[in-house]
Amino acid sequence: MQKRVLGKSGLEVSALGLGCMGMSFSYGAPKDRDEMIALLRAAVDRGVTFFDTAEVYGPYTNEDLLGEALEPVREQVVIATKFGFNLTGDTRPGAAGVNSRPEHIKAVVEGSLRRLRTDVIDLYYQHRVDPNVPIEDVAGAVKELIAAGKVRHFGLSEAGAATIRRAHAVQPVAALQNEYSLWWRRPEREIVPLLEELGIGFVPYSPLGKGFLTGAMDETTELAANDFRSTLPRFTAEARRANKAVVDLLAAIAGRLGATPAQVALAWLLSQRPWIAPIPGTTKLHRLEENLGAASLVLSAEDLRGLTEAADAITIVGDRYPEHIEKMTGL
């Protein structure tokens, strides 16, 4: 597996990481714990060194899962987790609201450290921008945790350009985790140029469009009531029917290259900048191996130009989130 450095931070990770949310949260019922531990260790065996979780995934159970699975190989891996929500028994994303007060951050880091079975968190993201707390206060709190040896690097998730710049002035931001894929390209407008200017790495989440870009679903696919995609405007049957044009484009290029749509989608992302490290999620070994194959898929300049131009011509149907969730982002 190739390695990449996230901006100027010096934090080296595998070119493709593993997003672990779906093992415990959001995509239907939690998966079998022993099977997920085996999958996480299989990822390490295949060269993955970058694992992404958050206290809200479960809540708490995903961090605990990673803690058990990765404890034997802790020195070989980079673990990223996130703070920033009030957590209650209601596990809907953000149901209890955001909370990035400095005293809250300093309290919840202890639980994350305990669940992850580690003395230090490699990358600690603010999960969502808190409009009630100046980002300078958030960055200052994480700076204190870094000084205390409990955190190595500071990250932001779903933050806008002004927020990133203000935070970075207080404590250098190692990485930004925002959504980015062939069917969500808003970061190209001002986020990617800003990250390049400041030397911040980019960790795209949902790089396969929450599974849609794999080609594994169409308008006839039934989503379970506890699959959060069933609440997303972009995943209505009508939207999926219209958005199949993106998958057809990927499939056409994949067929010519002897690859899969997912591999082409990930290879396209990897080709955008050398400091981009996507974190596709999966709960299946064959999908993990398929995704990792993207790291060795070479897209020529002609392939990239053709893919980008063709994608530019496709109008994506449906908002990515309902309005109340989109408001929680800093974009």
What pLDDT score does 27 carry? 84
Q: Residue 161: inside a domain, yes or no? A: yes
Q: Taking 70 as the threshold, does the pLDDT of residue 68 lie above it?
A: yes
pLDDT digits (tens, 9 = 90+) for 186-240: 999 999 999 999 999 999 999 999 999 999 998 999 988 888 899 899 999 999 9
Amino acid at 123: L
pTM of this prediction?
A: 0.94
Catalytic pick among 27, 57, 125, 180? 57
In a domain, 326, yes or no: no
Number of domains in the chain: 1
**Per the domain annotation, does 199 fall within a domain?**
yes
Is the model's pLDDT at 265 over the cut of 90?
yes
Domain containing 75 equals 3-211+261-297
What value does the mean pLDDT take over residues 59-83?
97
CB count in 10 Å sphere of residue 31: 16
Task: Name, in order, each residue with C-beta under 8 angstroms of 28's C-beta and a sequence gap of 6 or more.
Answer: 224, 226, 227
For residues 277 and 266, what is the distance between their CA atoms, to the nearest angstrom?
Answer: 10
Per-residue tokens: 70? 């990765």
* Nearest alpha carbon to residue 55 among 3, 113, 117, 137: 113
Examine residue 81 and state whether it is found in any structural domain, yes or no.
Answer: yes
Looking at the domain assignment, is residue 220 inside a domain?
no
d(CA 329, CA 159): 6
Burial pattern 119-153, b for ≥16 Cβ within 10 A else e, equals: ebbbbbbbbbbbeebebeebbebbeebbeeebbbb
Q: Say if 96 falls within a structural domain.
A: yes
Q: In this structure, is residue 42 part of a structural domain? A: yes
Mean pLDDT of the chain: 94
Cα 255 → chain centroid: 27
Residue 57 is a catalytic residue: yes
What is the tens place of the pLDDT at every residue in 81-131? Answer: 999 999 865 555 556 689 999 999 999 999 999 999 999 999 999 999 999
* Predicted local distance difference test score (pLDDT) of residue 96: 67
**pLDDT at residue number 61:** 96
**For the chain, first and last CA: distance in Å?**
32
pLDDT digits (tens, 9 = 90+) for 11-48: 999 999 999 999 998 888 899 999 999 999 999 999 99
Q: Which tokens belong to 61?
A: 């159970």
User: What pLDDT does 331 receive?
Assistant: 60
* Region at 10 (left for phi over 0; alpha for psi -120 to 50; beta for the rest): left
Other CB atoms within a 10 A radius of the CB of residue 196 amount to 13
Return the number of other C-beta atoms located less than 10 Å from residue 257's C-beta: 16
Q: Angle at the Cα of 313 (from 177 to 290), degrees rounded to 5?
A: 50
CATH code of residue 22: 3.20.20.100
Map residue 198 onto helix, strand or coil. helix
pLDDT recorded at residue 161:
96
Residue 330 confidence (pLDDT): 62
